[in-house]
Structure 1
């Protein structure tokens, strides 16, 4: 089962906020995939789902605040029961212009010093039905926002190599698809059969030409899609016209 805990759009009593988080329950494992940007929003949505147990795994899709800073609630309430799976570049100090958009420094410090970390760059299997991608190869052209990070004391272009997705029994869950959503899905196909794709597609500011390529790509696929978070209204409007589109929001529950 997959429960959407944080997204830009909410349903009925659930709280919406820019960011993403999902709870995956499969094979007697509870996995928190990302945590949104606000501990109070995550806390309240977990309560509304009547969820008060800890997590066997926490998976961080990449090191941006809107996917990680909700971890304050998880840390303060000792809800991490097992490993935190993350890419090493998630810990870089990340910026959009002069604005810091990386992991909150207190959370970063806790993860590095106290958490049971599993730092990965290659695909990592939790079990036979659950795999985390590791680094996503960039084989297809795509567009993305201009980000920077601090590396070896210098400000450099952030390629967001820490961008990762998770596949649970054929359901591909992506945080932001900074690698490009086609790169994400095509690499996912090399790791597993793909039945569904959900999460942030990162299409807010892309060109019409690129957006049309994305629409044509998903039109040709035989799995359903549930774009959320950073997909953007214009892209959602176009993608919603496809037969394999499903509307996603906080409070959505999906069977795996």
Structure 2
């Protein structure tokens, strides 16, 4: 077994027997720790994919990339089966009521209530070290251009624009794992470089429906990097098609195991 093993549990695409669904989740095994990064949107999909990986143990840490349903609602399976063995790490804004227009897209209310009242919850805004090789980013500075959808949240009783300040990533032994990169994938990676050496990047790059100008910036950026990258989930087919032409692109899907 390698120094780090990452298993893709939830993604929009899947391989053979695994189940695909819009959302993201990955199991990170590093330094004798089991870290669940996000949980997808459906507890049954998470359950079935864990079973197909023959994963029966609980998790030492749960890390939530941000408070959207397609990254958090699969936690119902984890909670109902008492699989949380340690801390749940999240940004405070992950628990805001979040909307896309009139549609609620935040964390399921029951799950949110459990996390806030019963879990060993670690609220982080600055970089947080799980150990010397594993760090959660906290808030990601937006120093480079990025494009995001018009989301809203309830803050101080009022519906306002949601900048998704809860967007966070995890770095484990140089591998950066991002949920949706709402703060911009270039911002994500550049901030990651300030926290650690980066050997690879995987997760959602949030490039569905972005402008040609921004997509070309992202393409040029990854073309100039010397690490591998694996875009999934909210990256979108058009962006994936273009990114796949780069030499450092790696195809990702549910069922994929990255062992380093």
State the TM-score, normalizing by the size of structure 1: 1.00
CA deviation vs aligned residue, 1:112-145 (integer Å, no higher than 9, x gap): 0100000000000000000000000000111111
Q: CA RMSD of the aligned region, Å? A: 0.4
**Of 185, 190, 199, which aligns to 2:194?**
190
Equivalent residue runs for 1:1-256 within 5 Å: 1-256=5-260
Superposed CA deviations along residues 136-173 of structure 1, whole A, max 9, x for unmatched, are: 00001111111000000000000100000000000000
**In 2: Cα distance, 1:110 partner to 1:75 partner:** 8
TM-superposed deviation, 1:95: 0.2
Q: Distance between the aligned counterparts of 1:166 and 1:133, measured in 2?
A: 6
Give the SS at the match of 1:61: coil
> How far apart in 2 are the matches of 1:180 and 1:219?
17
Q: What is the CA-CA distance between 1:34 and the residue it aligns to?
A: 0.1
CA apart distance, 1:82: 0.1
Gaps of 5+ in 2: none
Displacement of 1:205 in angstroms is: 1.0
User: C-alpha offsets along residues 168-222 of structure 1, whole Å, 9 cap, x if unaligned?
Assistant: 0000000000000000000000000000000000000100111011000000000
Partner SS, residue 159 of structure 1: coil
Q: Which runs of no fewer than 5 residues in structure 1 stay unpaired?
A: none
Looking at structure 2, the residues matched to 175 and 141 of structure 1 have their Cα atoms a distance apart, in angstroms, of 19
C-alpha separation in 2, matches of 1:16 and 1:177:
20
**Deviation sequence 1:74-120 (CA, Å, 0-9, x none):** 00000000000000000000000000000000000000010000000
Deviations 1:39-79 (A, max 9, x none): 00000000000001000000000000000000000000000
Task: Classify the secondary structure of the residue corresponding to 1:111.
Answer: helix
List structure 1 runs of 4+ shifted beyond 2 angstroms.
none
